[in-house]
Amino acid sequence: MATPIVRRSASQSSQSKEPKKVNSLPLNTRRFAAWATEITLVVVSGLVPFGLGVYVNSRSEFNRVPLNPVLVVTERAIAKPLALPVSYGIRNVAGPTNFLWIVALLAPLTLSWWQLYLLAKTGSTIPKRKFGVRVVNEQGKPPGLAAAIAREGLGRWAVPTAIAYILWRYSFAFPNLGLFTFLAVLMVLGEGIALPSRRGRRALHDWLAGTYTVDATRPLPSSGRGNESQQQQEVEELAPVSMAMLTGETTNTPSLWRRMRQNPSLTLFGVALTSMIAVLATLVATQVYIQTQQTRRETKQINSQKFLTLVQKLSPNSGATNEERQSMILAMGGLNDQQSIQFLTDLLVNETNPMLLNTIQQALTGVGLPAIPELKTKNQFLSSELESVGSNTTQERELRQQRLHINQQTINKILSVYSGQVADIDLSRIQLGQSGTPGSSFFNLVLDNVDLAGIDLKSANLNQASFKNSRFRGTGADGRWDTYDDAIADLSQAQMKQANFTDANLSRVIMNRSDLSRATLNRANLSHARLIEADLSSTQLVGADLRGAVLEKASFTGADLGDAKFNEANLYAARLSRAIAIGTQLSFANLTNTDWRGADLSGAYLDRANLSNANLSATRLTGAILRSAKLENTNLQNADLSFVDLRGANVTGADFQGAILAPGRQDPEDQFVQMPEIGSISAVVQGVDFSQAKNLDTRQLAYICTQGGIHPRCP
């Protein structure tokens, strides 16, 4: 029996020499190295496909498709706890991006579960095996799946991250995501580094799971021979002795189950106390619930009796005077229940007495926002009735138009009075704009300087409404901007022709496929707003802020964009023919495939903008800044490029047929504005490579060569 033992020892010694360089490091160092390697593998498995997806999404040659629903749900779930800006709904991305981002989501999860499985079954992941680290339970065996999940999921990650999140969420650092990341990393490292210095040298995750981190290169001790009682004692103490020899420490911390077995009376008392508390809490909660329901039923019954009494007194045959009817209408509004609201909205449609109509409006305004759903239903009913009435029945049309007008006025008053409280109010498909019916009375919605943050106005008619200096976005419950609970209005597909949004705050508001033709948006804040396929034809946007806005395929035909800010905005395939963009800031904007035919971009800032495949034919670009702009395959036919700064621009494939690179000399007597000499603008094309530009004529080449441009035909 001695020979096999000797040979096994020799084999173990020879094997231990192979990883000598790694295993010579202290155990704690190898533990940290193995853990860092595991995390790196998981992070890299997600970052690589995610980065590829971002790159593919930035390319214009891929077709756009809606974001995968799984990614939408994941994105929104992550955005809320991390205080990220609220999602705009389902956005469009490049086709391959969906696949790559799905891989970026699944790869880390798969790798994490695989490592967890290896840890549960073998006690080591691949990095731990390489560094000679092993995780075992008290019997010196692999911990098993439940213990592995408790060790890694609960102890190592959930507890430290939860502590870091609570400290971050309720501190001055919120919503700074960088500080949360730093705090979370600090907590995770602290849990694994600081706690082992306490008794037993076991980190929190090992203590919770009942596991030990040991040196895998050191063999388990042999119990040897002895009498039967000695062997029995060694069997009982094998686990703690083995752990002490492997870790170099004694373990004095008994497990929870062992404590419960040693103190059965204390355990029984704890169970009894917990049960008693649970029973008392259930009884109290049940009693509170019963009392609340009883009070609610009594209140409802009393209101029903009052309601029936008031309805009888308000009937046409009651003989009540107008003053009495007014007081009863106000009393009806004071009930503030569903049946009274419905009765008042019906009465508002049928009543003809102007004095009583004002009283009904006053009562519904007192009811407030709970009256909005019933008023919306009546509004849509009256609108459909008005459309169904023929043009020959003028008297009937005027009557229905008047009823709709009164309904609209009531909604207008409620929204004005309850400014800042309309978040999540649903007014989609409501008729609050001018119908344009000839010969009918018109209604003008006026909500100037009103807080409409979070309101839902999808597909609503808001034509010729006035929202001057109004706010369509709020901070939400946390009082901080750009966090998950920001109250953001939804105006997608709304009709807002000739509406006035001067100085309004529409930042991050959703207005996809909305009609803003001939609207006024001067100095409005539209930063990061979404106006995909929106119609802004002939719209006034002087001095408006559209930085970072998404304006894909939007129409700005004939719009006035003077001094507006479009920095980093996305105007992919937008139509801007005949637009006036004098002094407009378009730095870093995505202007790929845009149509600027006949537009005026004099003095515009287009530095580092992407104008690839854009149509700038017959465009006035006098004095524009195009430094480092991308002009690949851009149509510049007959464009006025005099005094343009093209330094660093990429003009590969650009068509310069008939383009004006230098203004002709003018008669000083006929010149209204004093133009600088040609020599003063010699740097506008200096260093620009025109080798692959198209349709350059002799005059253009002569100017390029004399002003420092690059072309094969230059001497």
Quote the pLDDT of residue 86: 55
Instruction: Please report the DSSP string for 118-150 in residue order.
Output: HHHHHS--HHHHHTTEEEE-TTSS---HHHHHI
- The CATH number for 563's domain is 2.160.20
Residue 396 domain-assigned (yes or no)? no
Strands 473-474 and 487-488: antiparallel
- What average pLDDT does the segment 450-466 reach? 95
Token output for 464: 């010729």
Amino acid of residue 69:
P
In contact, 331 and 311? CB cutoff 8 Å: no
Quote the pLDDT of residue 563: 95
What is the crossing angle of helices 372-388 and 338-350, to 10°?
30
Range of the domain at 668: 536-715
Residue 178 pLDDT class (50, 70, 90 cuts): confident
Instruction: Please report the DSSP string for 434-491 in residue order.
Output: ----TTS-----B-TT-B-TT-B-TT-B-TT-B-TT-BSEE-TTTT-SSSTT-EE-B-
Residue 198 pLDDT class (50, 70, 90 cuts): very low
Q: 295-301 long-range contacts, Cβ below 8 Å, gap at least 24?
A: 300/337
Residue 196 domain-assigned (yes or no)? yes
Strands 212-215 and 133-136: antiparallel
Instruction: Please report the DSSP string for 598-655 in residue order.
Output: T-B-TT-B-TT-B-TT-B-TT-B-TT-B-TT-B-TT-B-TT-B-TT-B-TT-B-TT-B
**In this model, does residue 615 exceed pLDDT 80?**
yes
Q: How far, in Å, CA of 590 to CA of 579, rounded?
A: 17
Residue 559 pLDDT class (50, 70, 90 cuts): very high
Domain boundary among the residues 229, 253, 277 is at: 253
Residue 78 domain-assigned (yes or no)? yes
- What average pLDDT does the segment 641-648 reach? 92
The total domain count for the chain is: 2
Quote the pLDDT of residue 477: 73
Domain boundary among the residues 237, 253, 269 is at: 253
Q: How far, in Å, CA of 56 to CA of 60, rounded?
A: 9
Query: Which comes out higher in pLDDT, residue 662 or 362?
Result: 362
Question: Among 188-202, 336-350, 518-532, 667-681, where is mean pLDDT lowest?
Answer: 667-681
Quote the pLDDT of residue 169: 81
Residue 159 domain-assigned (yes or no)? yes
Other Cβ atoms within 10 Å of 15 Cβ, number: 10
Query: Which comes out higher in pLDDT, residue 227 or 191?
Result: 191
Residue 229 domain-assigned (yes or no)? yes
Q: Is 580 strand, coil or helix?
A: strand
Other Cβ atoms within 10 Å of 327 Cβ, number: 15
Token output for 336: 């503030």
Domain boundary among the residues 184, 219, 253 is at: 253
Residue 457 domain-assigned (yes or no)? no
Q: pLDDT per residue over 562-581, tens digit each?
A: 999 999 999 999 999 999 99
In contact, 127 and 39? CB cutoff 8 Å: no
Quote the pLDDT of residue 664: 59
Residue 102 domain-assigned (yes or no)? yes
Query: Which comes out higher in pLDDT, residue 292 or 252?
Result: 292
Residue 238 pLDDT class (50, 70, 90 cuts): very low
- What average pLDDT does the segment 172-199 reach? 75
Token output for 80: 């809320």
Residue 23 pLDDT class (50, 70, 90 cuts): low
Q: pLDDT per residue over 112-151, tens digit each?
A: 999 999 999 999 999 999 988 899 988 888 999 888 888 8
Question: In terms of pTM, does the model score above 0.75?
Answer: no
Q: How far, in Å, CA of 692 to CA of 700, rounded?
A: 14
Please give the share of the chain, as a percent, with pLDDT higher than 70: 84
Q: How far, in Å, CA of 470 to CA of 486, rounded?
A: 16
Please list, in sequence order, all residues whose beta carbon lies within 8 angstroms of the beta carbon of residue 342, skipping any fewer than 6 positions away.
Answer: 374
Question: Among 7-21, 200-214, 637-651, 676-690, where is mean pLDDT lowest?
Answer: 7-21
Kindly list the distances between the CA atom of residue 618 and the CA atoms of 473, 595, 597, 614, 631, in Å, as whole numbers in the listed order: 39, 11, 6, 12, 16
Quote the pLDDT of residue 88: 55
User: Which residue, 635, 643, 615, is CA-closest to 626?
Assistant: 643
> Cα angle vertex 307, ends 302, 310, to 5°?
130
Question: Among 178-182, 234-238, 398-402, 645-649, where is mean pLDDT lowest?
Answer: 234-238
Q: Based on the number of CB atoms within 10 Å of its own CB, is 546 exposed (0-12), middle (13-18) or buried (19 or more)?
A: buried
Tokens 């494939």 label which residue? 653
DSSP element (H, E) containing 500:
none
Residue 529 domain-assigned (yes or no)? no
